[in-house]
Structure formats: structure tokens, C-alpha cells
Amino acid sequence: MKIKLLLTITFFVCLNLKAQEFKTPVDYLSYIGKEQENISKSMWKYTSAVAHSKSARRIDNTRKLLVKSIQTANKKVSALKDGYKGDVEYRNQVIEFLNISEKNINEEYDKIINMQEVAEQSYDLMEAFIMTRDLVNKKIDAEYEKVSLAQKTFAAKYNINLSEDTSELGKKMKISAEVFDYHTQLYLIFFKTNITDLFLSQAIEKKDIGAIQQNSSALIQYADEGLEKLKAIKPYNGDNTMVLVTKKALEYYKKEALQYAPKVVDFLMFNEKFDTARKSLESKSDKDRTKEEIDNYNGMVKQINKEIDNFNKINNANLQEKNTIIGNWNTTGDNFISGHVPVG
């Protein structure tokens, strides 16, 4: 399962400039604001691609276009060497913001992708991946706050009135961030049981009874913890599909640990007992084998065939249910994101 990556960037407030007597500083702000608008549009295209596209190539192409728009804006703003009549504080802060944004979206993106490739190996690695991704967002947001302050300081200095009404694009970005955050919250609850189930499956494959019992206990614990957390999570804008599908997944994993795993252990223990009896009988010559040993072994042969047949049935049924549960979770998650992140 791949968690969707979103680098949330909040760009400048919509400018509504009212200062005819200060026409030159207004033009200066408008010029920089236009460059920021171009970046905002590119950022939205990237966000929309992450939410609505299944193509990794398209998503990466929109990311590259975003980086290019930042580079273009940086060149234009950097060319304003004197700022406004020697006042370069606002200009310099914008350049710093653009430099850090480009670095994080470009270079840090590659680091995050590398982390994502190994994140699904454990819950701790997944948490570290998400924390790193969120840290990138916070770095960019922190720089934005500095730019916002510099913008307000410049406007105040030249008696320019700024309207802080949120633009339609800004609203879309805000909604998108909320949707991805909500999805991530549910994903972590689901993933903790999902990865433990993987460890359980590996233990079963290795026929490690101790590991099976250990992971079964952990699976019950994490399922119970997750179900308790779900009680506090409200529907997103009336949509409770993510909570419900996660609840069904946790209930399945708990049932698997309580019902399926013990049957696996019983089968493996009987199989070990059968192998011991077989090896014991094979180690003796025909004349040394007692009638009781032979009858006991023949009875176990009949029993092992039944046990294998029963095990295959419960194993196939469990696998089919598991695939359905995981498939439903993935589909619901994709539909939730594409359904709530604005289009266009």
C-alpha cells in the first residue's frame, strides 16, 4: 500500500490593493503577487494530480512543473535587485521562501520517496516517513509566515490596504490538506494491524509456532487499540466511510488472531506429531515395528489427510476474506480522497 504524498504549501493571501496615491509600491506588490499566483496554480495542479491521478508519471511531471514555476518566479523576483527604491526586505524574504520551497519540493521529495520505499516494512518506519513528510510541510509553512509578515510590514510602511479574503485556490488547498490529514490518521490505525498481519503470515510460512502466537497476541492488542481510537474520530463532512472500512478491517484482523491462528497452531502441532511418528517408524526395521506402532501411524495418516484438507479450506477462506478487506480499504481510501479533494 502506498500512502499518497502531499507537500502542502499555503501561498500569499489574495491582494486587494487600495492606494492610488501609492501607485508605485502597489505595482511592486502586484508584480510579485502575480509570480506567486503562477506558483499557486502549479501547486494546485500537483495537489489535484496526487488526489485524482493513478499515474505516477503524471504526478511526477506536475511536480517538475511546480519546481520550474518556482525557479521562474525566483529569477524574476531576484532581478528586482533594488526592491522598491532600495527597500529590499520584502524581496529578500520572498527569495528565501522560494529557495527553501524549491529545495524541499525538489531535493527533499527524493529523500521522502526513498523513505516511502521502506516505510511499509514496519510501523515505526511508516511513522518516521509521515513525520518527515509533515516536517517538510512545516518548514515551508514557517517560511511562508515570514513572507506574510514581510508583506504586511511593507504594505503598512506605504499605507497599502491588503485584503486577507481567502481566494478560491486557497480554499481548495486548505480542503486538500484536511482530506489528506484525515486519510493519514485512518491509514496509520489500519497499517499497524496490517503490518502485524504480515508478520503473522511470515511466521505461519516459517511454521514458527512461537512467532505465530506472539504476533497473534500483538494483532489482538493493536486491533483493540485501533477500535478504541475510531470511537473518537468523527465523519469527515458527514462521510464516515473511512472509519467504517477501517473498523471492518480491525474486526477482521482480531477475528483472524482469535479464530484462524489457533487452528493453524493446532495443525502445525499435529503435523509435528505426525512427522515424529513417521521418523520413529522409519528408523526401525520391519521386525522391530510393533503392531501398535503401525496401527497408530496408519491412523495418523488418515487423520493428517483430513487435517490438510481442513487447513487448506480455512486457509483459502481466510486469504479470500483478507484480500477483500484490504481491497475494500484501498478502494475506499482512493474514493475518499478523490471525492473530497476539489477538482479543477
Q: What angle in degrees, to the nearest 10, is found between the helix axes of 89-103 and 56-78?
A: 160
> Which residues lie across from 87 on neighbouring strands?
84
Q: Which residue has the cell 491588503?
A: 162
* Dist CA 188 CA 226 (whole Å): 9
Q: Please give the Cα distance from 216 to 210 (Å, whole number).
A: 10
Predicted pLDDT of residue 253: 98
- The pLDDT of residue 52: 61
CB 102 within 8 A of CB 139: no
- Among the residues of the chain, which ranges form H helices? 23-52, 56-78, 89-103, 109-119, 123-157, 168-206, 209-230, 241-255, 261-282, 291-340
Closest alpha carbon to 5 in 100, 97, 111? 111
Asked whether the beta carbons of 43 and 11 are under 8 A apart, the reply is yes
Query: What pLDDT is recorded for position 344?
Result: 59
d(CA 277, CA 266): 17
User: What's the pLDDT score for residue 5?
Assistant: 37
Say what the alpha-carbon torsion angle 196, 201, 205, 208 is, to the nearest 10 degrees: 40
pLDDT of residue 21: 32
- pLDDT given at position 169: 65
Q: Quick one: CA dihedral 282, 286, 292, 294, positive or negative?
A: positive
Cα–Cα distance, 221 to 211 (Å, whole number) = 15
pLDDT digits (tens, 9 = 90+) for 169-214: 667 778 888 898 899 899 999 999 999 999 999 999 999 999 999 9
State which residues of the chain have pLDDT below 50: 1-22
Q: CA-CA distance, 22 to 335, in Å (whole number)? A: 50
The pTM of this model reads: 0.73
- Residue 297's Cα: distance from chain center in Å? 53
310 Cβ contact partners less than 8 Å away, ≥ 6 residues apart? 267
pLDDT of residue 113: 67
pLDDT score for 282? 74
